[in-house]
């Protein structure tokens, strides 16, 4: 004896939905999780740890050279206009263009590089791509290519928290002996 329930199509049957609803939900949630995992994955810090570990001697050499030249710099950000102002008080031989690297502590996509043009003796000016907020690591180099960072003659470093202020001092990472 056939009942009305037996003559209905499969998608109108209670047991079909009872069995397949959890499976459909699991597939949807899994696809969502995979999408979130790929879109918001952590940045790779360094691929070759051994090579970078050996390069520490060269970066120390850049700091020593900046110390020998007695280089320091005062950096000021105007966040309303997006301009960067740099002042190097010493009369050292500094090129007409410098590269300022702003490295975000967590998001590599937010890193910026600003080419600073000399406006007068010891004074430089550049423009930001966007206004930074919170903490940033700063590096000042006499080269114009970020990938030549390791070959630069000297390096000045610093850190700034834009929640506290818009000025900071850049100096070698090693102290005078």
Instruction: Round to whole Å and give the CA distance between 163 and 171.
Output: 21
| Superfamily covering domain 49-170 | Immunoglobulins (2.60.40.10)
pLDDT in tens, 150-159: 778 888 999 9
Minimum mean pLDDT range among 31-40, 86-95, 109-118:
86-95
In percent, the amount of the chain with pLDDT more than 90 equals 36
Taking the C-alpha atoms of residue 120 and residue 14, their distance in angstroms, rounded to an integer, is: 81
Q: For the chain, list the strands marked E by DSSP.
A: 73-78, 83-87, 97-103, 112-120, 123-127, 135-141, 156-161, 167-170
Q: Which residue has the higher pLDDT, 92 or 173?
A: 173
pLDDT above 90 (res 29): yes
What is the model's pLDDT at position 3?
57
CA 87 to each of CA 28, 40, 95, 106: distance values in angstroms, whole numbers, following the listed order: 56, 38, 13, 28
pLDDT tens per residue across span 106-151 = 887 888 899 999 998 889 999 998 888 889 999 999 887 777 777 7
pTM of the prediction?
A: 0.68
Could you give the percent of the chain with pLDDT greater than 70? 84
pLDDT at 117: 93
What is the rounded average pLDDT of the residues 10-32? 93
Average pLDDT over every residue of 20-45: 89
Whole-number pLDDT of residue 61 = 85
Question: What tokens does 118 get?
Answer: 């000399």
Between 133 and 164, whose confidence is greater?
Answer: 164
130 close to 107: Cβ distance less than 8 angstroms: no
Residue whose C-alpha is closest to residue 90's, from 175, 177, 156, 159: 156
């Amino acid at each position: 004896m056939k009942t009305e329930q037996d003559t209905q199509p499969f998608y109108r049957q209670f047991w079909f939905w009872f069995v397949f609803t959890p499976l459909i939900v699991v597939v949807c949630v899994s696809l969502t999780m995979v999408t979130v995992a790929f879109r918001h994955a952590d940045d790779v810090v360094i691929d070759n740890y051994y090579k970078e570990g050996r390069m520490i001697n060269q970066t120390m050499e850049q700091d020593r050279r900046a110390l020998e030249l007695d280089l320091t710099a005062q950096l000021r950000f105007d966040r309303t206009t997006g301009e960067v102002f740099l002042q190097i008080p010493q009369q050292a031989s500094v090129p007409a263009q410098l590269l300022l690297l702003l490295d975000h502590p967590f998001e590599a996509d937010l890193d910026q590089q600003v080419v600073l043009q000399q406006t007068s003796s010891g004074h430089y000016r550049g423009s930001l791509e966007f206004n930074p907020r919170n903490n940033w690591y700063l590096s000042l180099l006499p080269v114009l290519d970020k990938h030549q960072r390791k070959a630069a003659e000297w390096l000045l470093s610093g850190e700034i928290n834009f929640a506290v202020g818009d000025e900071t001092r850049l100096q070698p990472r090693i102290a005078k002996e």
